[in-house]
Amino acid sequence: MNLIESLQSLASITLSSFATVFEMLGCLPIFVILFALFYLVYNKKFAYNYFLTYASGFIIGSLFLKNVIRRARPYEVNINLKANRDVYSGSLPSAKSTLIAENSVFLYASLHKKINKNFLKGLLILFLVIICGFVSFSQIYFANNYLLDCILGLAIGFIISMLIIKLLAKVNINKKYMVIICLPLLLILLLIFVLEWFTNNFANSAVFEFVGISSSIILGTFIEERFIKFNEKKNNLFFTSFKVLITIIFLIAYFYICKLLPGIVILSFVKYFILGLIVTLLLPLIFSKLEKYFYVFSNEVSEKNILLSSISISTKSTKKVAKKICAFLSSGDVVLLSGDLGAGKSELVRGILTHKGVKKEITSPTFTLVNEYNTQNNHFYHFDMYRIDDEQEVINIDFPEIIDKEDAIKFIEWPEKVERFLPKDYKKITIVKLGKKCRNIIFEDYTNKTIEVSNKTKNINNTTNNKNK
């Protein structure tokens, strides 16, 4: 008897801990924090995919399937279920376990990149192990149906996530596709929102919160792209850690302030709507302004590879710097241009091409992706990869073939977007905004020529020293 009581006590403690973890991991604030980190630090496209996965799971699993299954349960037949429906069985299947399963599968699939048979087999085995574990616990502590709710929720989340992953693997999700997919989802949520408002049925406040966060994310990302143009480019560990820390502090502070506000349902919508704007507008604005003060940390510059470092205070002085850079360029060079939006990358390329003898009008390839220029002695390509969202777009403009041409100089803005296609040997121009018009222009050489030149210099110095001796 003592053994049974001990097992029941252990199961009760385990269940309580398990429930606490599920309550925390499946809540909306955790989704907001993860989305913010993906959007602001890691990759916007990944953040859009994560948003779509969570939104689909929330609507299909948490709202539709959950309510259908709950209404289909035979409460009238089972007296025990009828008596305890509000205490034990009101959440079948568990909405939070549905979201946890879905997000876990999505993140796991994203880390593995490729979805193959081994991936599916491994995921299925993992899922079956979890199910068997939950079932064994439920046999010990069957009086509370919470574990059974979680099992069903995980099963639903697993199925939904696999369907979404297969969809994401076939479709290149960018801003356009995100809106096409999200608008119907948002309309469904708004319909539920309106129905609950007019029927005074505010039992599901999560609907109001999710409508708020979804609408502000969609709205905020469009405004950000038009006016702020925040680029989640790769920084070194220091600045990345700084962005993560600031994001978490902002969000925790906001959640704490919201807890002090009254629990009015309509306020749930407003609180999460504002939260979405903080993530998509306020924090990107702060980071885009602060990044120039961290340029020493955010721009990796190797002192031994620097051929030129110059300060420009006007368009005229930028043209002078461009003339100096021309002396270091030769056919076959790949020149990467690094700098914030509005730093003057296109202006500098315009100055270089002018000094190289290009007579035709030199424009920015923002929309065309690539511009080609020819002179009697030189051949040039100017790429702007800012709007690139998919590798197929890179292939469509013949980037891999052009980059290997030995008879042309290639200038590439936003090279981090096509990092996989870049050669090992390249030259780099880093433009750092020091003020409204002031720029620090750094020219580096990462080609084998630099090594050869430095070796020749060492040999000459050694010869000179020997003669002096």
Residues 224 and 312 occupy one common structural domain: no
Residue type, 142: F
- For the range 158-161, what are the long-range contacts, defined as Cβ-Cβ under 8 Å and sequence gap of 24 or more? 158/101, 158/102, 158/105, 158/127, 160/56, 160/57, 160/60, 160/61, 160/98, 160/102, 161/53, 161/57, 161/101, 161/102, 161/103, 161/104, 161/105, 161/106, 161/109
Distance CA 400, CA 418 (A): 10
* Residue 176 domain-assigned (yes or no): yes
| Cis before 29? omega within 30 | no
* Residue 367 domain-assigned (yes or no): yes
Residues 192 and 89 occupy one common structural domain: yes
Read off the pLDDT band of 463 (50, 70, 90).
Answer: very low
Instruction: Give residue-wise pLDDT tens across range 392-424.
Output: 888 889 999 999 999 999 999 989 888 889 998
* Residue 458 domain-assigned (yes or no): no
Selected residue with higher pLDDT from 238 and 81: 238
Residues 289 and 325 occupy one common structural domain: no
Percent of the chain clearing pLDDT 90 (strictly above): 20
Entry pTM: 0.65
CATH number at residue 418: 3.40.50.300
Residue type, 140: I
Calculate mean pLDDT across residues 184-211. 68
Residues 332 and 227 occupy one common structural domain: no
**For residue 451, what pLDDT is reported?**
44
Read off the pLDDT band of 434 (50, 70, 90).
Answer: confident
Selected residue with higher pLDDT from 33 and 186: 33
Residues 342 and 272 occupy one common structural domain: no
Residues 311 and 437 occupy one common structural domain: yes
Per the structure, the complete domain to which residue 147 belongs is given by 2-294
Instruction: Give residue-wise pLDDT tens across range 33-44.
Output: 999 999 998 888
* Residue 167 domain-assigned (yes or no): yes
Q: Which of 229, 262, 294 lies at the terminal end of a domain, its last residue?
A: 294
Q: Please report how the helices 95-112 and 44-57 are oriented relative to each other, as an axis angle in degrees rounded to 10.
A: 150
**For residue 161, what pLDDT is reported?**
74
Tally of domains within the chain: 2
Distance CA 228, CA 208 (A): 28
Residues 168 and 184 occupy one common structural domain: yes
Q: Is the pLDDT of residue 469 over 50?
A: no
Residues 134 and 237 occupy one common structural domain: yes
> 254: alpha, beta or left, given left = phi > 0 and alpha = psi -120 to 50?
alpha
Q: Tell me the pLDDT of the chain averaged across its residues.
A: 75
Residues 155 and 189 occupy one common structural domain: yes
Distance CA 432, CA 296 (A): 9
Residues 282 and 324 occupy one common structural domain: no
Q: By the 8 A CB rule, do 348 and 308 touch?
A: no
* Residue 454 domain-assigned (yes or no): no
Can you tell me which residue has the tokens 């999460």?
Answer: 272
Calculate mean pLDDT across residues 6-27. 66
Instruction: Give residue-wise pLDDT tens across range 274-324.
Output: 999 999 999 999 987 777 666 555 555 667 788 888 888 888 899 999 999
Residues 278 and 322 occupy one common structural domain: no
Question: Closest by alpha carbon to 413, among 351, 363, 361, 346?
Answer: 346
Instruction: Give residue-wise pLDDT tens across range 123-152.
Output: 667 666 666 655 555 444 444 556 667 777
